[in-house]
Amino acid sequence: MSDSAAAGIEITADLVRDLLREQHPDLAELPVREVAGGWDNQQWRLGDELAVRLPRTERAPELQRKECRWLPHLAPRLPIPVPRPVRVGKPSVRFPKRWTVMTWVPGEPLDRTSISRADHAADTLADFLRALHVAAPAEAPGVVDRGAHPGAYTEGFDRLIRSVALGVRADEVRADGMRADEVRAVWDDAVAAPAWEGPPVWVHGDLHPANVVVSGGTLSGVIDFGDLFAGDPAWDLAAAWVVLPEGAAARFFDAYAHADGATIRRARGLAALKSLFLMLMGHNGERGLPGGKRAWGPAGRAALGRALSDGGR
C-alpha cells in the first residue's frame, strides 16, 4: 500500500489543483489531466508543457529529490528531451509529502506503442547513453538496490525465473520466451564476466519500455530518472535488448562504441533479468494484483526473446 493510500489520501485532480493554488498559484488555472501508468509517482499533465508528480510509495520523495538535484546538471548535455524540474511542492496539511512540477516530455511511452525506425532509434539511444555515461562526481548517488555486478543479484534472478515460470502454462512456454536453460545460460555468462573497471559513470538505471518515449516511430525522450546512480554502464546498455527492436543491438553497440566484450556480456544478462521482471509484472497485471502492469508482459516477452537470440555483436 502506498503512503498516500495508507494515510487515506486520494490523489485527484481537485487535490492537484488545490496544492497548486496553495503553493504555485500562477500554475493553478492550467488544465489538469491524469496520466495513466507510473510506479513510484502518480502523474498529472499540467497544461501542454508541464506535469505534476505526487509520490505514492515510501521511496518516491527521495527519488524526486535526487532528480531535482541532478537533472538540471545533466539535462543540458543530453541530446534528447528529459524531464526538468520546474517547481517543488512542500509537504502540507493537504498532502504530507514533497512533490514536484516537471517539464513534460512529448511522445508515447514505448509500452503503449512501438519503434518502427529501428536504425534511427539505435543511433539515438547510443547518442543519449554516450552523453550520459561520463564520469560522475564524488558526491553523485551510488549503488543502492541496483548497479552492482550481476553476481550480486543471482538470488533475485532465481526468484524471478521461478515466479515467471509458475505463471506460464505449458502450451505458452515457447510464446512466453521461457526457455529456462537458455535464460540461465545468458545470466551465468553475465555473472562470469569481469566487473566494470572504469570510473563510476552516470547511469539512468531503469531503462525499460515505460521509461522511454517514442514519436514518429523512433526514440524521442527518456523519463523517470529516480534510480539515477554512478556505476557500471551495463545497467543502461541492457536497453539494447529491452528497448530496441529485434536486430538493432549490433548497430547500437557499434554506434555506442565504448562497450567491451565483458560489458556487453553483463548488459545482456541484465537484459534477461529486466525482461523477467517485466514479464512478472505483466502476469500480475493479468491477475489484477497490486502493482501489476498488463502491457509489460508482452514487452518483457519480446525483450527476453531478443536477449536470447542476439548477442549484440
The pLDDT, as a whole number, for residue 293 is 86
pLDDT digits (tens, 9 = 90+) for 185-231: 999 999 999 999 999 999 999 999 999 999 999 999 999 999 999 99
Q: Which helix or strand (DSSP H or E) is residue 299 part of?
A: helix 296-309
Q: Are 215 and 107 in contact (CB under 8 A)?
A: yes
pLDDT digits (tens, 9 = 90+) for 35-66: 877 778 889 999 999 999 999 888 888 999 99
Gap between the terminal Cα atoms of the chain:
43
CB contact set of 33 (below 8 Å; sequence gap of 6+)? 13, 44, 45
Residue 176 confidence (pLDDT) = 46
Q: Bridge-partner residues for 50, per DSSP? A: 46, 103
pLDDT at position 148 over 60: yes
**CA 295/CA 110 separation, integer angstroms:** 10
Q: How far apart are CA 94 and CA 20, in angstroms?
A: 11
**Cα–Cα dist 63/52, whole Å:** 15
CA dist 153 and 79 (Å) reads: 32
* Confidence (pTM): 0.92
- Find the range with the poorest average confidence among 16-30, 39-53, 174-188: 174-188
Res 139 pLDDT > 80:
yes
Q: Please, are residues 84 and 71 in contact by the beta-carbon 8 Å criterion?
A: yes
Element (H, E) at 245: none
Is the distance from CB of 226 to CB of 67 less than 8 angstroms? yes
pLDDT in tens, 224-270: 999 999 999 999 999 999 999 999 999 999 999 999 999 999 999 99
- The CA radius of gyration of the chain, in Å to the nearest whole number, is 19
Distance CA 266, CA 232 (A): 9
Q: Which three cell numbers stand for residue 1?
A: 500500500
If you write DSSP's letter for every residue of 124-171 in order, what string do you get? HHHHHHHHH-SBPPTTS---SSS-S-GGGGHHHHHHHHHHHHHTS-GG
Question: Nearest Cα to 304, choosing from 279, 286, 280?
Answer: 279
- Taking only the tens place, the pLDDT of each residue in 58-95 is 888 899 999 999 999 999 999 999 999 999 999 999 99
Query: Looking at residue 96, what DSSP letter applies?
Result: -
Cβ contact 210:109 at 8 Å: yes
Q: CA angle, corner 252, sides to 251 and 258, nearest 5?
A: 115
pLDDT at 101 over 60: yes
